[in-house]
Amino acid sequence: MHLPDGYLSPETTLPALAVMLVVWYISFKKIQLIHNQALIPSIALCAAFSFILMMFNIPVVGGSSAHAVGAVLVAILVGPWAAVLAVSTTLIIQAFLFGDGGILAIGVNCLNMAVIMPFSGYAIYRLISGKATLGSKRNSVAVFVAAYIGINLAGLAAGIEMGIQPLFFKAANGAPLYGFYSLAVAVPAMLFTHSLFAGPLEGVISVLALGYVIKFAPHLLVRESQCRVDSLNTT
């Protein structure tokens, strides 16, 4: 759901970037990397995992794309605030080095995939999973549902952001200056591809990846448990 440059107005991208600057600052303060350096390798691994997932795109009408992100799984493993940094790092690298997503649209893309997705997904995961054992049936269902809903909410946000452009930014003759597709086109297009393709893929990958971590890298689960406590204490 990377949004390219030219599809969103500066009145949309600049406020989103300003919001993200605040969110990034809070994220650094929340996880305190200077005093919590053991978390840095985990964040780096999560960023690499998210980077790989987002390299496989399905084009979507309106100039965007659908793909797995891994943001909810990252939030489960290292906490939602750390997920903001991990996924944002991935999106920034993709924009500058690979042209995947616009540079001016970095704030919007990070808001969708590094904030809306991990925080909403993590909240849903905690609600459904409760105190269920990691890897249990209930926990796995929670991971799948959280990842599925999280990526669809991010896709919905991207669809709305594209769809409102023709409503507010028009030339003198009424032609849209940005977006080019209305809400009636952009939102259904994003939700269709994410609900039928990217969403199920996101859910399955998240469940399988968490199962892999439980079996082969259980040391990451200690950090996951601590981040649960930290996140609950800061909300």
Q: Report how far residue 205's alpha carbon sits from residue 198's, in angstroms, rounded to the nearest whole number.
A: 10
**DSSP state string for 157-201:** HHHHHHHTHHHH-B-TTS-BSS--S-HHHHHHHHHHHIIIIIHHH
pLDDT exceeds 60 at position 235: no
The predicted-structure confidence for 110-161, as pLDDT tens digits, reads as follows: 999 999 999 999 999 999 999 999 899 999 999 999 999 999 999 999 999 9
DSSP 224: H
DSSP state of 55: T
pLDDT score, position 64: 64
Higher-confidence residue of 34 and 92: namely 92
Contact 53, 68 (CB under 8 A): yes
pLDDT value for 166: 92
pLDDT of 84 strictly over 80: yes
Task: Give me the mean pLDDT over the 11-21 stretch.
Answer: 97
Flag whether pLDDT at 232 surpasses 50.
no
Task: Please state the separation of Cα 234 from the chain's center in Å.
Answer: 20
Tell me the per-residue pLDDT of 17-72, one tens digit each, with 9 for 90 and over: 999 999 999 999 988 865 567 788 888 999 999 999 998 877 775 556 788 999 99
CA 152 to CA 195: how far, in whole Å? 6
Q: What is the spatial distance between Cα 10 and Cα 16, in angstroms, rounded to a whole number?
A: 10
More confident: 30 or 205: 205
Q: Please give the pLDDT value at position 172.
A: 83
pLDDT digits (tens, 9 = 90+) for 154-184: 999 999 999 999 999 988 888 888 887 889 9
pLDDT for the residue numbered 19: 98
The token duo for 25 is 């600052």
Parallel, antiparallel or unpaired: strands 64-66 and 58-60 = antiparallel
The predicted structure's pLDDT at residue 226: 53
Residues 176/167, Cβ–Cβ less than 8 Å? no
Query: Do residues 23 and 15 lie in contact, with contact meaning Cβ atoms separated by under 8 Å?
Result: no
pLDDT of residue 181: 85
